């Protein structure tokens, strides 16, 4: 993992940097993988080409809140997934996200990274709530949210727009929230 100007944050074992065109294979592997994408409503993966991804990566500009981010192991530099940060909406809610390659599931990387993303959101934005919407069937994601102080505040079903319904499925999800006041009071350890 390069540690120059494009390094955004680090955890004990992970480094997060801005994505470049050289990361097209990572994003293709993640976004077209049914195991990764079925929990977000794409049971056969996202229908995207390497060319489309390359184009998107080549046009990225702005801050870390506007760009695709890559997650890698600090010890080896191996890329293991992606994440995103989020600007808060008009209600003060930020919605960051994580996607890891399946071969890196089960190592607590998600919890380690999620804790740092929540801390980053509260430190670098004026959000009042960090929210996520894990699929009710994605037990690992639900546990990750709860391990970092996320509280289930509801559940819903997301329906994709009509033109996308041929390659998507509705997503039954929880609404999990970490409130700034609770986070600051508990101050989870890194």
Task: Give the mean model confidence (pLDDT) for residues 139-147.
Answer: 94
* The pLDDT value given to residue 2: 45
List beta partners, residue 152: 176
Task: Give the mean model confidence (pLDDT) for residues 178-190.
Answer: 82
Hey, is 8 helix, strand or coil?
A: strand
| pLDDT above 50: residue 147 | yes
Task: Give the mean model confidence (pLDDT) for residues 30-58.
Answer: 96
| pLDDT above 90: residue 39 | yes
What pTM was computed for the model? 0.92
Task: Give the mean model confidence (pLDDT) for residues 132-153.
Answer: 95
| pLDDT above 50: residue 4 | no
Domain range list for the chain: 7-186
H/E/C letters for each residue in 74-105? Answer: CCCCCEEEEEECCCCCCCCEECCEEEECHHHC
Pick the CATH number of 7-186 from 1.10.3720.10, 1.10.10.1800, 1.10.1060.10, 3.40.630.30: 3.40.630.30
* The pLDDT value given to residue 186: 83
CA distances from 9 to 84, 160, 189 (A): 12, 32, 16
Closest CA relative to residue 175, chosen from 156, 149, 147, 158: 156
**Is 93 within 8 Å of 127 (Cβ atoms)?**
yes
* The pLDDT value given to residue 5: 53
The pLDDT tens digits of the residues spanning 58-87 come to: 999 999 998 999 999 999 999 999 999 999
The pLDDT tens digits of the residues spanning 108-122 come to: 999 999 999 999 999
Task: Tokens for 3, please give them.
Answer: 């540690």
Name the band, by pLDDT with cuts 50, 70 and 90, for residue 1: very low
Task: Report DSSP letters for 115-168, one per residue.
Answer: HHHHHHHHHHS--SEEEE--BTT-HHHHHHHHHTT-EEEEEEEE---GGGTTS-
H/E/C letters for each residue in 28-70? Answer: HHHHCCHHHHHHHCCCCCCCCCHHHHHHHHHCCCCCCCCCCEE
């Amino acid at each position: 993992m390069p540690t120059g100007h494009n390094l955004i944050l680090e955890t004990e074992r992970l480094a997060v940097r801005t994505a470049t065109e050289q990361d097209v294979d990572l994003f293709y592997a993640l976004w077209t993988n049914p195991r990764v994408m079925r929990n977000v409503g794409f049971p056969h993966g996202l229908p995207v080409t390497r060319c489309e991804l390359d184009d998107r990566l080549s046009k990225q500009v702005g801050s870390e809140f506007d760009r695709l981010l890559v997650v890698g192991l600090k010890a080896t530099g191996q890329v293991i997934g992606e994440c995103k940060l989020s600007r808060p909406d008009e209600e003060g809610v930020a919605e960051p996200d994580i996607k890891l390659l399946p071969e890196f599931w089960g190592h607590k990387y998600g919890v380690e990274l999620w804790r740092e993303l929540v801390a980053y959101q509260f430190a670098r934005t004026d959000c009042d709530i960090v929210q996520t919407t894990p699929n009710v069937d994605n037990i690992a994601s639900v546990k990750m949210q709860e391990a970092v102080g996320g509280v289930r505040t509801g559940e819903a079903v997301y329906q994709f727009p009509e033109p996308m319904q041929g390659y998507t499925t509705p997503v039954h999800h929880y609404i999990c929230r970490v409130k700034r006041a609770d986070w600051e009071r508990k101050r989870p350890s890194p």
